[in-house]
Structure 1
Amino acid sequence: MAAGRRERADAVRNRRAILLATEDLLAHHPPEKISMEQVAAAAGVGKGTVFHRFGSRMGLMQALMEERAVALREAVTDGPPPLGPGAAPRERLLAFLDGVVEMVARNKGLLAALCHASTTAQRPAAEDGEPQGEHPFHAFWHDHVSALLAAQRPDLDAGLLSDFLIGALQNERVLRLLERGETERVAGMLRALVTGLLDAAPPADEDTPRAP
C-alpha cells in the first residue's frame, strides 16, 4: 500500500515538474521551438514519462492551459457575483468576458502554443464530421457565454454569437494588441459590442401588423 502511495506521489510530482518546465520554456522560447525532449530534460524526467502523462504536445499544452483556466471556472461556478451565481445574466456576461480577456492577455504564449499544436496535430473527425478534442476550457467558455446570452436575449442565436465573441480573442490582430499591453482597449470594445447587442430591441414579430 505504501508503495502505491509513493508511486502516486511521484506521478503528481512528475506532472507538476513537467508543467512548470513547459511554462518556463514558453516564457523564453517560441512555442514552435519547444520539443517534448526539451520539456523532459528541463523537468528532469524521461521523454517517455512526458508522452505517457500527456500523450502529445497538444495534450501537454492543453493540460497547462486547463490549469490556468481552473481559477476562472471556479469563480464562475462557486465564486461571488458578478462572476459567480447571484448576479443578473448581463452583469455576469460582462464580468466573464472581462475575465477571459485578462486571462488571454496573461497567457498569449501558451495560447499560441495551443494554436500551433492544434494546426500541426492530426485530429480525427467525430461521427458528425466535427474535429474531436476541443479544448475543455474553450467548451466551457462557449457554453457559459451562450447560456448567459440566451437568458438575456432568447431571440438571438446564442451559440453562434458565442463562437464569434470567443473566437475574436484568438484573432491574430487582437492577440497582437494584447501583446502590446492594450488589454483595456480590447476589453472595452468587447463590452461595447455585447452591450450594443443586449440593448438592441428584438426584431418585431412579422405577424404583428405594421403601422401605416
Structure 2
Amino acid sequence: MRADKARNRDAVLAAAGRLFDAAADPDDVSMDAVAAAAGVGKGTIFRGFDDRRGLIRALYDERAAHAFAAPVPAGGEPAEAALDLLLRTWRFKEQNRVLALALERDGSGSPYRNSSYDRLHAQLATLTARARGTADADFLAHALLAAVRSDLVEHLHAHPGTDPRAGLRALVRSIFATGDDNAQEPPS
C-alpha cells in the first residue's frame, strides 16, 4: 500500500472512530463529517472503503482485532472459555456502542456477515462441540452470540436493574451443562 494511501486510511479510521465514540446515534456520523474530521475529500473515503458500510466494517474489524487479540485458551473448561468470550464481547460492544449499533443496523451490513462474527462463532461452536458434541454446536454458537447483540446491549443499558453478566453466566451454564453432576460451573 502506498504511504499516502495508508496515511489517509489511518486518518479516516481515526476520525471515524472519534466521531462514532462521541455520537449518540449511528445516524449522527455522516461520510461528510468523517471526511472533514480526517482532512480528506469524501472521494478518498469512497476509494478506500467503497461506502459507509465498508468504513464501518473496517473500523469495527480493526477494533475487534485488538480487543480479541488474545486467543481463547485451547485447554480448560469450555464453559469458562465461552463465558469469557461472551463477557469480552459484551464489554467490547458497551465500549463501542454506537459503532456496533451502526454495523448491526446498516441494511445488508448484517451482524452475521463480518469477520468478527465469523471468528466469534467459530470459537463458540468449537467450545460447544467440546462440551456437548457437534450435533447442535453451530446453532448454539449463533444463539450464544444473539445474547450479545448490540441492540440488546443498548436496550439493557437503559435497565440498570438487569445484570447481563449474571444472565450470560446462567445462559452458558444451561447450554454447557452436560447432565453430569460433576460438571464445573463457570466462574462468577
Q: Is 1:178–1:186's contact at 8 Å kept on the other side of the alignment?
A: no
1:170 aligns with 2:149: yes
Q: How many equivalent residue pairs?
A: 178
| Separation in structure 2 between the aligned mates of residue 41 and residue 20 of structure 1, nearest angstrom | 12
SS class of match (1:75):
coil
2:96 to 104, 107, 113: 107
Q: Distance in 2 between matches of 1:23 and 1:98?
A: 22
Tell me which amino acid in the other structure corresponds to 1:74. A
| Residue equivalent to 2:184 | none
Shift, 1:157, TM fit: 0.6
Instruction: Return 192-201 or 107-116, whichever deviates more.
Output: 192-201
Alignment of 1:146-165 (within 5 A): 146-154=125-133, 156-165=135-144
- TM-score w.r.t. the length of structure 2 is 0.83
Deviation at 1:179, TM superposition (A): 5.9
TM-score (norm. length: structure 1): 0.74
Q: Where does residue 31 of structure 1 map in the other structure?
A: 26
2:3 to 9, 22, 30: 9
Any stretches of 5+ residues in structure 1 without a counterpart? Answer: 1-6, 77-82, 124-130, 203-212
Q: Distance in 2 between matches of 1:175 and 1:47?
A: 30
- Among 126, 129, 134, the alignment partner of 2:113 is 134
- 1:1-212 → structure 2 map (5 Å cutoff): 8-29=2-23, 30-76=25-71, 83-117=72-106, 119=107, 121=108, 134-154=113-133, 156-170=135-149, 172-178=151-157, 185-201=163-179
Output the CA distance in 1 between the equivalents of 2:53 and 2:86. 25
Q: Deviations over 1:181-204 (max 9, x none)?
A: 77x9212211111112222428xx
Contact 1:21 1:39 in 2 (8 A): yes
**CA offsets, 1:145-188, max 9 Å, x none?**
01100011116511111111112222634422236677x92122
Give distance in 1, aligned partners of 2:97 and 2:61. Answer: 14
Q: Kindly provide the amino acid, as one letter, of the partner of residue 31 in structure 1.
A: P
Shift of 1:86: 3.5
Structure having the higher Rg: 1
Structure 2: distance between partners of 1:145 and 1:68: 20
Q: Determine what percentage of the aligned residue pairs are the same residue.
A: 34
